[in-house]
Amino acid sequence: MEQIIKKPANIIPRPNLRDYDDALETFKWESAYDQVEWFDGKLNAAYNAVDRHAKSHRRDKVALYWQGVDRNEKYTFFEMSRLSNRFANVLTDLGIEKHDRVFIFLPRVPETYISFLGILKTGAIAGTMFSAFGPEGLYDRLHNSGARYLITNSSLKERVYQIKDDLVDLERLIIVDCDDGVGVADDEVSYTEAMKNASETFDTVQMLPDDPAFMLYTSGTTGKPKGVVHRHLAIVQQHVTTKWVLDLHEDDIYWCTADPGWVTGISYGLLGPFSCGASVVVYDGRFDPEVWYSVIEKYQVNVWYSAPTAFRLLAQAPDAHKSHDLSSLRHICSVGEPLNSEIVHWGVRTFGLPIHDNFWQTETGGILIANYPSLPIKPGWMGKPIPGIKAAIVDDSGCEVARGVEGNLALVADFPSLMLTIWKNSAKYREYFSGGWYFTGDRAVQHEDGYFLFIGRADDVINTSGERVGPFEVESALIEHPAIVEAGVIGKPDALRGEIIKAFVVLAPGYEPSDELTSDVKRFVKTRLAGHAYPREFEIVDTLPKTRSGKIVRRMLRAKELGLPIGDVSTLEE
């Protein structure tokens, strides 16, 4: 058993979750409903994030500290409320209606957060996309969602125009950096001009708890990315877990490093902390240890939420923190992939603080299992379930197994932030559920003391640098290269990124292996996939292991790479 780490008592004078065992025993989700504001049985997540604070003592409190490469800005809750009202009016003037899809394709700029809130206020469904996506990734998401409008900028829009003719539902682009309407095409709208002319008052649309609020696309082992839809009621769990796990208090300055193109950047970079009335820091720039530490120092960040890959990269710059005053930090959390124990201990050595791991998924919309400020940390373990969550290890039939036995990590499917549906794919949605359980698709173990240990994915999804990558997407991009006829992709363990992507490829006739060809394939794939999704290793093979139906058996590629037993081969083609 790993060493137990207890946080120094003076670091946690007032944890929000003081008695975990009592809360686990007594808490019911309905008791948390009064922590958000309702309209006679209806609610709106955006209203709870900013509007209710704009009408309270937090009116002039800074909601968003934004740091760009060459400028800094800050916005109070009142300003965020009024600006998102303006954008909601822009959308309604353009004809956007309840349940329409409006997508955002921007870096971490203030307009990303303002427009997201404005979309939710109209009753439309917001979708966010990572700014590194190429044309194919954009097409999959915009086509499947049927998005009517897309908010982007003058640089990123060029990728959109490569596929726009094939997006029959996409009516217009809203361009955030076209001042005075200069350079705006007929099918575009100037964000700046439209916002100038829009009213700053707006009657936020009152939504039913199960009405959809936002959607994000996540990859699977086969097929296209799937649209995970979340409801307005999710704000309840995002609010409560922000308090319990991230332990935000009234005077805290909070920094979540996740991009809003991913679920963490929405649930805990925007909705949860804003709902709790916290001041949120957003840094729009490349990773750099000196810059990251300067952000903590400049804004006096108290609570920091990041990913294991980032912490591992920081650990490789062991002296970078020494020239910065980081004494404001009192709580550090990690998510996205398993946090190895060494990084927990590194946190203690470097900051005098352990790093608290927690577990959840795009599909769950909120934290499920965590290490809490008021409980000892068991390094390398995910922690204990949040109150209101029934988590268990079950076999393939849904029967609970004994403590200490590996099995499927499953949850009773009755918590507020659980996905509403998979967009246009109810069959896929149903695959997650059986016998009242939501199956996470992960393998885990629960110890006698209640802590959960993550073992690995039950499918082939690759978790690299905290981002999930479906092998099918990478393989599809690879075989578009004229030199490649077949490709199989696996995740390979990596000390820095958790996993890296390795590709096994079969060359077309007339092509021979060479360093030049490998470099060309890498350049080719980088133009079609986000930076984290391209293979860092290639191996040319004569054939790929496949079933009789033609499906590539990735487990055999992985077994060969790692020197593991190959296992059952009865279904392979001869």
Number of alpha helices (DSSP H) and beta strands (DSSP E) in the chain: 18, 27
From residue 444, give the alpha-carbon distance in Å to each of 252, 306, 392, 405: 34, 22, 9, 8
Is the alpha carbon torsion for 186, 188, 191, 194 positive or negative?
positive
Contact residues for 205 (Cβ-Cβ < 8 A; gap 6+): 44, 98, 121, 122, 123
Give which of 169, 189, 163 is closest to 178, Cα–Cα: 189
Between CA 256 and CA 247 the distance in angstroms is 13
Cite the residue boundaries of each domain of the chain with CATH code 3.40.50.12780.
9-445
Give which of 220, 260, 259 is closest to 462, Cα–Cα: 220
Between CA 522 and CA 89 the distance in angstroms is 44
From residue 281, give the alpha-carbon distance in Å to each of 72, 126, 189, 256, 497: 11, 22, 29, 7, 25
Strands 537-540 and 498-507: parallel
pLDDT of residue 5: 63
Whether domain 9-445 has CATH 3.50.50.60: no
Contact residues for 197 (Cβ-Cβ < 8 A; gap 6+): none
| Strand segments (E) across 355-402 | 355-359, 369-370, 384-385, 391-394
Half-sphere exposure of 399 (CA within 13 A, CB side): 3
Between CA 311 and CA 560 the distance in angstroms is 30
The two structure tokens encoding residue 181: 């309407």
149 bridge partner residues: 102, 172
Backbone angles phi, psi at 293, to 5 degrees: -65, -35
175 bridge partner residues: 152, 190
Give which of 348, 363, 329 is closest to 246, Cα–Cα: 329
Helices marked H in 317-425 — which ranges? 341-351
Model pTM?
0.85
Cβ–Cβ < 8 Å for 471, 448: no
Could you read off the pLDDT tens digit of each residue along the chain, which spans 574 residues? 345 666 554 455 589 999 999 999 999 999 999 999 999 999 999 999 999 999 999 999 999 999 998 889 999 999 999 999 999 999 999 999 999 999 999 999 999 999 999 999 999 999 999 998 889 889 999 999 999 999 999 999 999 999 999 999 999 999 999 876 566 888 999 999 999 999 999 999 999 999 999 999 987 555 688 999 999 999 999 999 999 999 999 999 999 999 999 999 999 999 999 999 999 999 999 999 999 999 999 999 999 999 988 888 898 888 999 999 999 999 999 998 888 888 899 999 999 999 999 999 999 999 999 999 999 999 989 999 999 999 999 999 999 999 999 899 999 999 999 999 999 999 999 999 999 999 999 889 999 999 999 887 777 778 888 887 878 778 878 888 989 988 899 999 988 888 999 999 999 889 999 999 988 998 898 888 877 888 999 999 998 887 544 567 888 898 888 887 765 443 345 4
Cite the residue boundaries of each domain of the chain with CATH code 3.30.300.30.
462-562
Buried b (16+ CB within 10 A) or exposed e, 249-262: beebbbbbbbbbbb
CATH number of the structural domain 462-562:
3.30.300.30
Between CA 490 and CA 462 the distance in angstroms is 7
